[in-house]
Structure 1
Amino acid sequence: MAVIGITSGQQKNGTECRIPKTYVKAIVRAGGVPLVLPVLTNKDILKKYIELIDGLLLTGGGDPDPRYFYEEPRPGLGEVDPQRDEFEILITGLALNTGLPLLGICRGCQLINIVEGGTLYQDLEKEYPNPLKHNQSSPGKYPFHTVHVKKESWLYSISKMTNFRVNSVHHQAIKEVAPGYKATALAEDGVIEAIEKSGDGFVFGVQWHPEQMVNDSVSLKIFTEFVNRVD
């Protein structure tokens, strides 16, 4: 069974590492073994993390520091956790360098894009023209808006659908896609909802939260195909 490392976030001024259990349950349901990775920045420990896991899941959370994509903070930027940023930037780089399969969700999708040289909108309402509401005011597992999927994509290959509805709990999004990547799903307003890396490896990110929607066939397939890829 594939061991999937799951990045954690921090609470209470960094004294607690936490993630929603929905990520753990999604990996288990997909047939993998979840291993939650505490926020640490010691490079030797991070290398050991990489040795222990077969794939890496980057979870959702707060806003990445815009210095990582060479911008100053702007109005609308949310809470930043410098230690978590450093942790996830470092471990994402290690995973990419070693060819580990990598799945990014919401913030995790954005982190992949940043590490590979892309940029973000720091706040859609302030920086994007006529955006949809991307931070839903309904239960997290409720499909909230439509995404349109490009046929030449991994996401279409597993879903066989050119559009479906997803949940949406974010205020940032990818602006410039990193070199070597392509946007494979868009919302009605053009906001990028999924990216994937070109080539034979598995590096994929979605802006929504499929771990909260695993009863939906497409959401579950994202996890099962990820786990099967590394098994």
Structure 2
Amino acid sequence: MMVRKTDVHSHGGGDTTNIQNEILRLKHYQQIEHQRLIEKYQQEQNQLAAMHEKQLEEHLKVRQHMLMLQKQQEFLEQQRKLEEQHRLEQKMQEEKLAQIKNKSLEQQSAIASMAVKQKLQEFVLNKKQREAAVNNIRNSSQFRWAHHSSLDQSSPPSASLSPPYRPHLLGQFDELNQLRRTASEPNLKVRSVLKQKVIERRSSPLIQRRNRTPLSLKSRKPLGGEGLFES
């Protein structure tokens, strides 16, 4: 009887050991599976993170490219506006220069016209002054000629001059004096007085008798006779 109880007890202890070993084996397997799942999860997370990062990089690249294209478009648009503004300013500048040039030409033409007009006025004025000076000289010469002729008529006739010569000169002077009456009023009065004296002397019997005296008789008279004749 004692032997049987020991066998039963030994057989029961072996089953417990086997169960414990099985439990340990299952725990170890679960740990391995858990570790494998964790590693797989981490691997998948790493892959997802890498994919996400790659997508972000691609997105950033696309965004940067779009920004670069936008900036380039803005630069081209700004450059076009600047060129258009520069072209308009250049056109306005050319038009302004053309207006200034035309205005300058008009001013030069006006100045030239004024200069020509002034020269013409100066020429006309100088011509009138020359004509007035010539008339004054002519009138003065006529006055001196009339005065000299009156003095010649009042002086005794020379032996070397023929008597008919002086009336001829006086006749020419009278005709010339009648044709040229452009002097002033005092000169006209002087001429009138001189002309009256000449007429009186020409109508004097003494002058008429001298004119009738032959040249040969006058040339034979002594100098003293002329003095007595004049007195």
> Is the structural similarity TM-score above 0.5?
no
What TM-score results when the alignment is normalised by the length of structure 1? 0.18
Looking at both structures, which has the greater relative contact order when contacts are Cα pairs under 8 Å and sequence separation is at least 6? 1
Of structures 1 and 2, the larger Rg is shown by: 2
More helix by proportion, 1 or 2? 2
More strand by proportion, 1 or 2? 1
